[in-house]
Amino acid sequence: MPRSLQIAVVGAAACDTEVARLARDSGAELALAGITVLTGGRGGVMQAACEGARLAGGRTVGILPGVDDYETPANEYLDVVLHSGLNQARNQIVVLSAAAVIAIGGGWGTLSEIAFALKFRVPVVLLASWKLRRPDGLGDPLLFTAQSPGEAVKLALHASGRTTPA
């Protein structure tokens, strides 16, 4: 059986209803495309993306920062739970395990995931997230901005080399 493509959805562990909707819709779009949704396994954006994926019949994986569910509980929509024991360093594992990253909203942890992804040349799609540009004014060919969950998924798939944009 071929291994499913994994795309990470990253964002804050607490978010408002609009950001949660974007994450839920992104998770569903990924699942409908046959993509495994990879997250940090906690609440907020991570939980909403996993919920959307599961409701659409998809598969979800969470890489948690702690050593067990007592320390860092996994969200209820995960199919696979991996406790890393690495705290925020697990962000690097999340992005290196993905063909692309969709960042939705987010705080400093999300920014670190975006930076790790770009440092290791993993494409990043920003959806209602950080407004980034390099200080030298040059753009990054692996950094994209989307206006909707559907566009975010299309850009992530295209950037990962899996499909061409419609």
Indicate whether 129 belongs to any domain. Answer: yes
Owner of token pair 């948690």: 64
Indicate whether 77 belongs to any domain. Answer: yes
Number of domains in the chain: 1
In angstroms, rounded to a whole number, what is the distance separating the alpha carbons of residues 99 and 108?
Answer: 22
Question: Which range marks the domain in which residue 94 is found?
Answer: 6-159
Are 31 and 1 contacting, i.e. CB atoms less than 8 angstroms apart?
Answer: no
pLDDT digits (tens, 9 = 90+) for 43-87: 999 999 999 999 999 999 999 999 998 888 999 999 999 999 999
Indicate whether 19 belongs to any domain. Answer: yes
Indicate whether 127 belongs to any domain. Answer: yes
In angstroms, rounded to a whole number, what is the distance separating the alpha carbons of residues 138 and 68?
Answer: 42
Whole-model pTM?
A: 0.95
Indicate whether 166 belongs to any domain. Answer: no
Instruction: For residue 132, give the CATH number of its domain.
Output: 3.40.50.450
Q: What angle, 0 to 180 degrees and rounded to 10, lies between the N-to-C axes of helices 149-159 and 17-32? A: 50
Indicate whether 1 belongs to any domain. Answer: no
Indicate whether 164 belongs to any domain. Answer: no
Q: Is the pLDDT of residue 164 over 60?
A: no
Q: Is the pLDDT of residue 1 over 50?
A: no
In angstroms, rounded to a whole number, what is the distance separating the alpha carbons of residues 65 and 73?
Answer: 10
The reported pLDDT for the residue numbered 7 is 98
In angstroms, rounded to a whole number, what is the distance separating the alpha carbons of residues 162 and 135?
Answer: 31
